[in-house]
Structure 1
Amino acid sequence: MTPSGTKVRVKAMTPPGHIRAPFYLRGKTGEIERVLGPFRNPEQLAYGLPASQKILYRVRFTMAELWGDAAENPADTLDAEIYDHWLEEA
């Protein structure tokens, strides 16, 4: 498990099918706000497949990171729950 406070980047993958990482977060860098624990992978469950357990994290992003100069309040944040297979250390 990756500890809270670690900087991570959402992988910029574009696999087909039912995915659980919003497109606008892909390639963006945030900070792990907390570890939520292991859950069965919903990307597999959506197809009725046996689902392995993945660690789910709450990741915090700044509006400046997400929207750049278009951010109305750059210091505001957005939290998203993202599974570990979508994250890499930044």
Structure 2
Amino acid sequence: MRFSVGDEVRVRWATPPGHVRTPYYCRGLSGRIERICGQFHNPEELAYGRTGDTVVTLYRVRFQQKTLWPDYTGPEKDTVDIEVFEHWLETAR
């Protein structure tokens, strides 16, 4: 595992073609690891009928609502949790 609970991470900004499990609206944005969900066969590989032999760690990343949607007018403490696979994450700078 590359990250620990509490680490600040950034979702890679990428727009690969095809099936990916990382929502477009969180790409390029930073949040904190809220939980480590476990290790799973890579669903992006499985979607194309490949073996999915590569096992990747899945993290739950917590984002401030305002980070995802700058026009958000709700309470500052509101958050959104998104599960993101490790190969989509990098250390926040």
TM range (shorter): over 0.9
Distance between the aligned counterparts of 2:78 and 2:29, measured in 1?
15
Q: Write 1 or 2 for the structure with the bigger share of helix.
A: 1
Q: 2:83 — aligned with what?
A: 81
* Residues 1:18 and 2:19 are matched in the alignment: yes
Shift of the alpha carbon at 1:62?
A: 0.4
Question: TM-score, normalized by length of structure 2?
Answer: 0.92
Alignment of 1:1-90 (within 5 A): 1=1, 2-51=3-52, 52-68=54-70, 70-73=71-74, 74-90=76-92
Unmatched tracts of structure 1, length 5 or more: none
Equivalenced residues, count:
89
- Secondary structure class of the residue paired with 1:57: strand
Question: TM-score, normalized by length of structure 1?
Answer: 0.95
Distance between the aligned counterparts of 2:19 and 2:67, measured in 1?
25
Indicate conservation of the 8 Å contact 1:32/1:60, yes or no.
Answer: yes
